[in-house]
Amino acid sequence: MKGAILAIGNELVRGRILNTTSFWAARWLLLEGYEIQEILTVPDELGLIESRLRDFLSQYAFCLVSGGLGPTTDDITNEAVAKALGRPLITNEEMVRRIKERERVQNLPHNPLRLRMARLPEGAILLTNTQAMAGYYIILDKKLLFCLPGVPHEFEHLLKARVIPLLKEKLPVKGAVRSRLYKIFGLREADINLKLKALEDSSGVTLGYYPVLPEIHLSVLIKASSEAETEKLFEKVHHKITEAFHPYIFGHDEDLLEAVIGKLLTSRKETLAVAESCTGGLIASRITRIPGSSNYFERGVVTYSNQAKMEILGVPEEILASYGAVSEPVALAMAEGVRKLAKTNYGLSVTGIAGPTGGSPEKPVGTVWIGFSCEKATVAQCFLFPGDRHLVQDYAAGTALDWLRQYLAYGTLIPRYQFACRS
């Protein structure tokens, strides 16, 4: 089942905003057996949008349009869609009601421009039930046209919650499709590639390999003539992948490493505190992005200065003076210190040199000590992470989080990771 994406917005063709929504849409749709054949980005130009949309609708079973649904005068998607379909624009009373309701709730002054968002092509069916979020679809004979907001989180929400279910219902893929995205942390790309070679030749199996550093994502798409056959093939591939990459697979599909940890901690009724230096709050921030994290996350400290390491964590001044802030004893003292002060089950610590400055011949940029503390023991490992400041921070935060995961899931006290320094 083939489709196309038409992304609308001056900002996209002028290099102001990277078109990530189309990228994610193509990925998620493919996992359900829907292949995107063309992704076209155009500016807010009525005639161009109209002609390209007409062309796509004549060639493909479905089309996703993103952007240009807002209230300002350069939002012209509704008008372009109406023209391309030869249908009039009609005021959608339900949308009017929601816009007014939002103005009331948020105590906004009434702005008549906002009602532009309710002028939709005839036949438009709103995609949400409750929110005044833009987005609708139109059934065209045997084809489907979706118009989604360009704002990434709204687009992604509607894609997963509404577009994919609607496609499955109204344009089902022939045969059976099964897919899974495996999320891997801590293995070398070269090692993964080598192990994948053995899996690549099964017919009906399409593998995709995506470095989303510091993670590696591995997509598996299975197509066969029946549910049963697909399932059989999937089980076989799943077994091989699990065998090859265990225990580095931290989750699949929508799983986030920090959410996986949250579930494990919640089910064990255990708690966590973190002490960060070079990751600067990134670990705490990732953990607290997850709803409900207040149940297991007690505190985080970003002890950027030595003074803060001594005052908040009780790291002894002698240790800082003799070994330096980026050292095994400091990582150990930070992890144990934060765990004991916060009275939590686990403590994580990171101290390192994220760069671009601060490196030395003995401790080059990328050198990071990570500490892990539980009731049983407090341990630390040294890493040398590649890349710029942000990548070093991302690798360090990911490694600390995954370390906790491997301990919670398998009781591994010192997991083996890529970029670990062997001393």
By beta-carbon proximity to a second copy, the closer residue of 138 and 215 is: 215
In the region spanning residues 370 to 389, those forming contacts with a second copy, defined by CB under 8 A, are: 384, 386, 388-389
Residue 245 as a binder of a second copy (CB under 8 A): the answer is no
Residue 47 as a binder of a second copy (CB under 8 A): the answer is no
Two tokens, residue 313 = 């964590």
**Collapsing DSSP states into helix, strand and coil, what is residue 231?**
helix
Task: Report residue 151: phi and psi, to 5°.
Answer: -60, 120
Residue 270 as a binder of a second copy (CB under 8 A): the answer is no
Residue 23 as a binder of a second copy (CB under 8 A): the answer is yes
By beta-carbon proximity to a second copy, the closer residue of 122 and 388 is: 388
Cβ 29 to a second copy shortest distance, Å:
8
Q: Which long-range contacts (CB under 8 A, 24 or more apart) does 260-263 make?
A: 260/405, 261/287, 261/401, 261/404, 261/405, 261/408, 262/287, 262/290, 262/292, 262/293, 262/296
Task: Report residue 250: phi and psi, to 5°.
Answer: -95, -10
Cα angle vertex 252, ends 370, 193, to 5°? 75
Q: Which of 8, 33, 36, 99 binds a second copy (CB under 8 A)?
A: 36
How far is residue 259's CA from residue 263's CA, in Å, rounded to a whole number?
A: 6
**Collapsing DSSP states into helix, strand and coil, what is residue 399?**
helix
Residue 108 as a binder of a second copy (CB under 8 A): the answer is yes
In the region spanning residues 48 to 87, those forming contacts with a second copy, defined by CB under 8 A, are: 48, 52, 72, 74
Two tokens, residue 133 = 């979020």
By beta-carbon proximity to a second copy, the closer residue of 138 and 392 is: 392
Cβ 30 to a second copy shortest distance, Å:
5
In the region spanning residues 302 to 331, those forming contacts with a second copy, defined by CB under 8 A, are: 302-305, 307-308, 311-312
Stretch of 81-89, 90-98, 103-111, 235-243 lying at the interface with a second copy (CB under 8 A): 103-111
By beta-carbon proximity to a second copy, the closer residue of 193 and 242 is: 193
Task: Please tell me the count of residues contacting a second copy according to CB under 8 A.
Answer: 97
Cβ(5)–Cβ(26) below 8 Å: yes
Cβ 144 to a second copy shortest distance, Å:
19
Residue 301 as a binder of a second copy (CB under 8 A): the answer is yes
Residue 212 as a binder of a second copy (CB under 8 A): the answer is yes
Cβ(319)–Cβ(333) below 8 Å: yes
Q: Which of 1, 27, 156, 264 binds a second copy (CB under 8 A)?
A: 27
In the region spanning residues 127 to 166, those forming contacts with a second copy, defined by CB under 8 A, are: 151, 153
Stretch of 35-43, 121-129, 229-237, 239-247 lying at the interface with a second copy (CB under 8 A): 35-43
Stretch of 44-52, 170-178, 316-324, 326-334 lying at the interface with a second copy (CB under 8 A): 44-52
Strand 136-140 to strand 143-148: parallel, antiparallel, or no bridges (unpaired)?
antiparallel
Buried b (16+ CB within 10 A) or exposed e, 244-254: bbeebbbbbee
How far is residue 311's CA from residue 299's CA, in Å, rounded to a whole number?
A: 15
By beta-carbon proximity to a second copy, the closer residue of 1 and 39 is: 39
**Collapsing DSSP states into helix, strand and coil, what is residue 103?**
helix
Nearest to 78 by CA among 52, 110, 46: 46
Q: Which of 94, 101, 104, 113 binds a second copy (CB under 8 A)?
A: 113
Cβ 410 to a second copy shortest distance, Å:
27
Strand 205-212 to strand 367-373: parallel, antiparallel, or no bridges (unpaired)?
unpaired
